[in-house]
A = this chain, B = another copy of it.
Amino acid sequence: MSKQRRIVVIGGSAAGPKAAAKARRMDPMAEITIIQKSSDLSMASCGYPYYVGGCFEDRNQLLCTPTGVVRDPRFFLDAKGINAITDTEVTAINRTGKTVTTRHGVTGEIAEIPYDKLVIATGATPILPPVPGADLDGITTLQSMKDADYLRKVADEKRIAAAVVVGAGLIGVETCEALNLAGINITVVDMLPQVLMFLDWEMAKLVENHMKAAGAHIITGNPVVEFLGVDGKLTGVKLKNGTELPCELAVVATGVRPASRLAADAGLEIGATRGIVVNEYLQTSDPDIYAAGDCIETTNLLTRKKIHAPYGDLANLQGRVVGQNVILGNHEVFPGTYQTGICKVFNFSAGVTGLSERCAREAGFDTVSVIYAAPDKPGFMGGKLLVLKMVADAATGRLLGMQCVGPGDVSKRIASAAMALHGKLTIKELTVADLPYAPPFSPAIDNFIACAHVLEDKMTGQMKGISAAEVKAKVDAREPIYLLDTRDPDEYQAMRLGIGEVLIPLGALRTRLHELPENKNREIICYCKISLRGYEAARLLEGYGWTDVKVMEGGIMAWPFPREK
């Protein structure tokens, strides 16, 4: 090599260090510098809620390698030969001279650092609601180590009785759990009509019900209009409908926006999402500048639309791509994302990959979907419930997305669906998927495959499904439907909807057909606990000539509304 390549990376959280480390492995002789605004490097920021919630004691674990070494500038230099400069902000990118201007956060010292290739990994900044009182003491986000330290202290001290979490997205619900574990009375508020907008409403409602059962208060569809305070200290949160929620702490988790100002100031192209525009090599509009992580916009692989997708795993994957491309030239591609995500909420997990039905329809797809509820293992192995919703493109039969919530193993099913999306598989192909089966891990037909079976049955007209929400609307509108619960009387005694249903156990149905509507064209809706027996009943009634028989998908387990019992 005639001369050492100079790689400068702006940002030291996730994408930046990954790009730097990969570049180092690609070129052991390159001069690689990371410039980080804060004093911490390579923070596992997705772990903040678990630190706050007391899952572990040592905050340094958020900054450690798998073998327990803190990733500080010393570590970067010794182990990787990377120069990591902390507490230093990049104030300008000088594209003509190919330098960046830096200012030290403490000393104010200004410096000029030359680069051959520059990587922008400036991350994202929290969006704060533009309402009065947002500067009161007691309002925080959970976006930095400092935030995490503050909230952990709050949790440990146990002096706060009530807190409000503003925003019911991923970080909002994780924060809700963390503070609830500390014995704090939590209310989560959101201006949107549901928690976890990546889920369809009826799936989100199941999560919300679980959060409420765990002791959290949830208020949706009601924006914060003011933070109330006395003597500069937060005393409450006021909502648009007038509700005032007294609290000593508010955690704002209303999303983030790309930190693209520096790039914009340097004249780099910025997208409508406010993310830095990059091509598939993650190269910006300046060929010598790449960008990765929460500051860029990327492509949704199903809609082909540009989106902002601030996920920790994508930041790392993008960092690896950039680390290669800054050394080898445009070589490795980052195609985009299925926006796969997951979170733990008390004893539930909730995950998604691909498009929700709402998003798919907004994107112009003619969708067909199904909700499927079942335990994630055989009963004798202590299976736990999973509710899946699978969405397909009616035109092609291709899988468009899957959502999964419940106390069971959500993660495996979302991972399976994410790989199915990656392989562009159709529902028909999923019906004969070959997943690992043994009783400690899944039912003989995995929930993911079984869900595809029911969706295929629906697509071929073998099953006419109806969602709980549609059933509820019919009940509320007093439509003349006949609701048939096909469970056994003891099950009915223990739990029931109480919406005017008739109970006839599946095993007795053949001998009690005379109890069913004389009018063979009346709309009959069958269900049971998970609607497997409901499905059998529906087929039976169709066999006996009833013409409009539907199955309420997911049965009682997917019913998101209050039950009689």
Cβ distance A455 to chain B, nearest Cβ, rounded Å: 13
At the interface, yes or no: A281 with Cβ under 8 Å from chain B? no
The B-contacting residues of A in range 403-430, CB under 8 angstroms, are: 409-412, 414-425, 429
A62 interface neighbour in B24, B380, B432, B533, Cβ under 8 Å: B380
At the interface, yes or no: A110 with Cβ under 8 Å from chain B? no
Cα distance, A181 to B333, chains bound together (Å): 50
Number of A residues with CB within 8 Å of any CB on chain B: 114
Does A344 lie within 8 Å of B311, measured CB to CB? no
Cβ distance A425 to chain B, nearest Cβ, rounded Å: 6
- Say which one of A123-131, A443-451, A477-485, A519-527 lies at the interface with B: A443-451
The residue in chain B whose Cβ has the minimal distance to the Cβ of A331 is: B460
Does B440 lie within 8 Å of A344, measured CB to CB? yes
At the interface, yes or no: A44 with Cβ under 8 Å from chain B? yes
- Say which one of A101-109, A265-273, A283-291, A536-544 lies at the interface with B: A536-544
A422 interface neighbour in B62, B429, B444, Cβ under 8 Å: B429
Does A342 lie within 8 Å of B422, measured CB to CB? no
At the interface, yes or no: A242 with Cβ under 8 Å from chain B? no
Residues in B with CB closer than 8 Å to A448 are 415
Residues in B with CB closer than 8 Å to A419 are 416-417, 419-420, 422-423, 425, 433, 435
Cα distance, A79 to B539, chains bound together (Å): 12
Residues in B with CB closer than 8 Å to A334 are 432
- Say which one of A217-225, A247-255, A371-379 lies at the interface with B: A371-379
The residue in chain B whose Cβ has the minimal distance to the Cβ of A1 is: B543
Cα distance, A27 to B542, chains bound together (Å): 10
Cα distance, A188 to B144, chains bound together (Å): 53
- Say which one of A208-216, A314-322, A358-366 lies at the interface with B: A314-322
Count this chain's copies in the assembly.
2
Residues in B with CB closer than 8 Å to A544 are 28
At the interface, yes or no: A154 with Cβ under 8 Å from chain B? no
Does B28 lie within 8 Å of A540, measured CB to CB? yes
Taken residue by residue from 295 to 317, chain A's Cβ proximity to chain B (1 for < 8 Å, 0 otherwise) reads as 00000010000000001111111
At the interface, yes or no: A39 with Cβ under 8 Å from chain B? no
Residues in B with CB closer than 8 Å to A410 are 436
At the interface, yes or no: A453 with Cβ under 8 Å from chain B? yes
Residues in B with CB closer than 8 Å to A85 are none
At the interface, yes or no: A492 with Cβ under 8 Å from chain B? no
A444 interface neighbour in B25, B61, B64, B312, Cβ under 8 Å: B312
Cα distance, A55 to B378, chains bound together (Å): 12
Q: Max chain B CB contacts within 10 Å: which of A315, A316, A317, A410? A: A317
At the interface, yes or no: A329 with Cβ under 8 Å from chain B? no
At the interface, yes or no: A535 with Cβ under 8 Å from chain B? yes
At the interface, yes or no: A507 with Cβ under 8 Å from chain B? yes
At the interface, yes or no: A81 with Cβ under 8 Å from chain B? yes
Cβ distance A491 to chain B, nearest Cβ, rounded Å: 7
Taken residue by residue from 64 to 99, chain A's Cβ proximity to chain B (1 for < 8 Å, 0 otherwise) reads as 101110000001001111000000000000000000
Does B436 lie within 8 Å of A414, measured CB to CB? yes
Cα distance, A29 to B533, chains bound together (Å): 17
Cα distance, A287 to B157, chains bound together (Å): 75
Cβ distance A309 to chain B, nearest Cβ, rounded Å: 9
A532 interface neighbour in B66, B332, B429, B436, Cβ under 8 Å: B66
Does B418 lie within 8 Å of A47, measured CB to CB? no
Does B444 lie within 8 Å of A316, measured CB to CB? yes
At the interface, yes or no: A343 with Cβ under 8 Å from chain B? yes
Does A26 lie within 8 Å of B462, measured CB to CB? yes
Residues in B with CB closer than 8 Å to A314 are 434
Residues in B with CB closer than 8 Å to A344 are 438, 440-441
The residue in chain B whose Cβ has the minimal distance to the Cβ of A320 is: B453
Taken residue by residue from 465 to 480, chain A's Cβ proximity to chain B (1 for < 8 Å, 0 otherwise) reads as 0000000000000000
A416 interface neighbour in B301, B415, B529, B536, Cβ under 8 Å: B415
At the interface, yes or no: A439 with Cβ under 8 Å from chain B? yes
Does A437 lie within 8 Å of B312, measured CB to CB? yes
* A47-B439 contact given A25-B535, A510-B81, A539-B28, CB 8 Å threshold: yes
Some 12 contacts from A to B, beta carbons below 8 A apart, are A25-B535, A28-B542, A50-B439, A67-B491, A81-B510, A81-B540, A312-B444, A332-B431, A334-B432, A415-B416, A417-B419, A420-B422
Beyond A44-B439, A78-B510, A321-B432, 4 additional pairs, beta carbon < 8 A: A25-B536, A50-B380, A79-B533, A317-B449
Top 10 closest A-B pairs, CB basis? Answer: A423-B423, A28-B543, A419-B419, A78-B507, A342-B436, A313-B437, A61-B380, A412-B412, A411-B441, A414-B436
